[in-house]
Amino acid sequence: MKTRYSTTLKTMGLLSSFPSVVELLQPVEEQHDHTFVDQNNRNVKVSYKMEYDPINQIQHYKTIRRFYQQEELQEEKVTTIDLRYTYPQEIEKTLALNGFKLLHCFDGWEEKPLNPDCYSIVVVCQKTARL
């Protein structure tokens, strides 16, 4: 899964994301994803573990890479990322509190209308005049 986030709010534009039903309903157990051979000729088994915190709207992802040499575990690397999902109503309120007016919300860069299956939201906003 690859998701890009814009962390700088500019006069026109912000990319945000909110979870799909599939993401929220992921099993908490570790799930094997794929295996490959690395540059040291070791088999690398990659798995993921995901858990959603509905109170804080945070999806916790853990990627586990296990490195094997002739079926013997040599090394294990774990990386984590916590994603804070933002919903359209929350985006509008955050923009207003920070001096922006929401002009449009789209499902992706092709400016498709938002729908329940959206994966990302592209927000077009405008800086409001200061009084």
| 60-70 confidence digits (pLDDT tens) | 999 999 999 99
19: tokens are 């979870």
Note the pLDDT of residue 34: 95
- 3-class secondary structure, 92: helix
Determine the pLDDT at residue 12.
Answer: 40
pLDDT at residue 28, rounded to an integer: 75
Task: Please report the pLDDT score of residue 2 as a whole number.
Answer: 35
pTM: 0.56
pLDDT at position 56:
85
Residue 88, amino acid: P
- Token readout for 42 is 């070791």
> What pLDDT sits at residue 48?
94
Residues of the chain with pLDDT under 50: 1-16, 131
The full set of domain ranges for the chain reads 1-18+86-131
Cα distance between residue 62 and residue 23, in whole Å: 14
Cβ neighbours of residue 51 under 8 Å, at least 6 residues apart? 28, 59, 60
Which residues are registered as beta bridge partners of 93? none
